Amino acid sequence: MLKQGLNPYLPSWEYVPDGEPYVFNNRVYVYGSHDRFNGYVYCLNDYVCWSAPVNDLSNWNYEGVIYKRTDIQNNEDCDSCLYAPDVTIGPDGRYYLYYVDSKRSIVSVAVCDTPAGKYEFYGYVHYSDGAILGEREGDEPQFDPGVLTEGDKTYLYTGFCAIGDKSRSGAMATVLGSDMLTIIEEPVIIAPSEPYSKGSGYEGHEFFEAPSIRKRGDTYYFIYSSIVMHELCYATSKHPTKGFEYKGVIVSNNDIHISSYKPAEKPMYYGGNNHGSIVEIDQKWYIFYHRHTNGTNFSRQGCMEQIQILEDGIIPQVEMTSCGPNNGPLKGFGEYPAYLACNLFCKDESMYTDCTGAWMDKQFPKITQDGRDGDEEVGYIANMKLSATAGFKYFDCKGIKRIKIKVRGYCQGDFEVKTSWNGPALGTIRVGFSNVWKEYSSDITIPDGIQSLYFTYNGDGSASLASFKLE
């Protein structure tokens, strides 16, 4: 595999969703929850951290475990999981990790002297009288903390609001003092939940979860997951706790709303919940988000795309790609693993990944891996039955005359090679039954220029696709 910036940006055997990216000392650090491959619920693993130099987003380094599930108070049996966290630098220069665990609707805080060292429990966010936020009468449950520190104040954003739940008003903003724990301004609602959105401008994109906050110039960007789950939306204001106006969608993990290469409402991946944020890296802006793998909601992987922020502050929605961290197309030669697919679908459309038996019975294609969680096994696409299509974007093609693929499985048929999801086949590659990975090839001319590549299986049985090679 060529050393380039790829999506997902971490190794295919790593499952870190809910990414909150920051630049500290010329390195990008990503904090998130930590799913388990083939897990049965969200966030089963300890918090880990990965980092990369700002000038090389292909070179991610594993910083190790920064906080264990057993570091949760009274959680020696790991009965509670670590949900999506966020990190900020306090007035004292230390790094503060804010999180909510799966058994309590309160915000806990851990602290460390370095961005990716061992964090130690510090305390709970509380009112001046000592009452814990989320436990006082009238408090709404706390979830998915996002934080921003300016001077001696830290702005804390929290919330989870399902459709129709009138007990949840929307995303909350709470102001903390210099000790990073004590509330100095009580929670206010900055973005409405679905029952309270009429006339707000948020209709159809009301707050669901995943609040995150960034500041660019004098403008605060509030990033969140809407009630349709697959999209990350944003609202802006000149003030951190009021006046946020809905502006649009930044990214969708099934490419809904994108009409540049397909109908706007056609799903091109099996989507699900989404969580992430924006960050400036080496004078370019990116959105971090996650995708779903393994045919479930519980094995999510981080992806990133470069975004444009226009002069008026608007962020046009971006496509999911295989080359987001690369600042341009991938090289149009060499071998690429199939887990880089940014489009994955079949004739039976589904907007969402669904862990129920009914969804699995249809045997939709899925990105998966061999082995167990933690095994450094390269991912591949399984369950490629009749009409299953894997798409990869983008490649700078020049002089490609032959394509090879690695396939295994109980299958007998052909892979069509196309440069658009519904375009004509430029050629076919015949494949057959094999218990091991076998390489098949065909002479196929790909037009020169920036191209997408799509592989559609037509035949009997179920194929697994490991990689393709451009020659």
- Could you tell me where the beta strands, DSSP code E, fall in 107-242? 108-112, 120-124, 146-150, 153-158, 170-176, 183-192, 207-216, 219-226, 231-237
Active-site position among 14, 18, 35, 354: 18
- The enclosing H or E element of 361 equals helix 357-361
Active-site position among 140, 209, 231, 319: 209
Q: Are 444 and 417 in contact (CB under 8 A)?
A: yes
CA dihedral 101, 107, 112, 118 (to 10 degrees): -10
Q: Is 140 a catalytic residue?
A: no
Q: Are 109 and 101 in contact (CB under 8 A)?
A: no
Distance, CA of 170 to CA of 173 (rounded, Å): 10
Q: Are 24 and 8 in contact (CB under 8 A)?
A: no
- The enclosing H or E element of 83 equals none
- Name 385's Cβ contacts closer than 8 Å, sequence gap at least 6: 346, 363, 365, 457, 461, 462, 463
ω before 8 within 30° of 0 (cis)? yes
Q: Is 18 a catalytic residue?
A: yes
Catalytic residues: 18, 209
